[in-house]
Amino acid sequence: MASPKNLVITLPDYERIFRVIHGVLLNERGDPLRACMYFSVIGCSILERYHRVKAEPVFGMAAYRLDGNLMVFAENDGQTIRATAKGFHCWIEVDGVAVDFQAPLFKDFAAKQQPPISLPRKMMQKRLDQAGASIDEMTVSGAHWYSRDDQLRSELLSDFVQKPANSDFIDICLQWYEPTPKKFPDCIQIGNQHGHVNNVPLSPCRISGAW
- With a cut of 50, say whether residue 153 has pLDDT above it: yes
pLDDT in tens, 102-151: 999 999 999 998 889 999 999 999 999 999 999 988 989 889 999 999 99
Q: Can you give the residue range of the structural domain that contains 177?
A: 4-210
103, 124 contact by CB (below 8 A): yes
Task: Name the residue type at position 8.
Answer: V
pLDDT at 4: 57
- With a cut of 80, say whether residue 194 has pLDDT above it: no
pLDDT at 187: 94
135, 63 contact by CB (below 8 A): yes
- With a cut of 70, say whether residue 170 has pLDDT above it: yes
Distance CA 146, CA 60 (A): 7
User: What number of CA atoms fall less than 13 Å from residue 120's CA on the CB side?
Assistant: 12
Number of compact structural domains in the chain: 1
pLDDT at 193: 65
Look at residues 180, 185, 181 and name the one whose alpha carbon lies nearest to residue 200. Answer: 185
The predicted model gives 74-83 an average pLDDT of: 89
pLDDT at 191: 76
The predicted model gives 71-95 an average pLDDT of: 93
Specify the CATH number for the domain of residue 123: 3.10.550.10
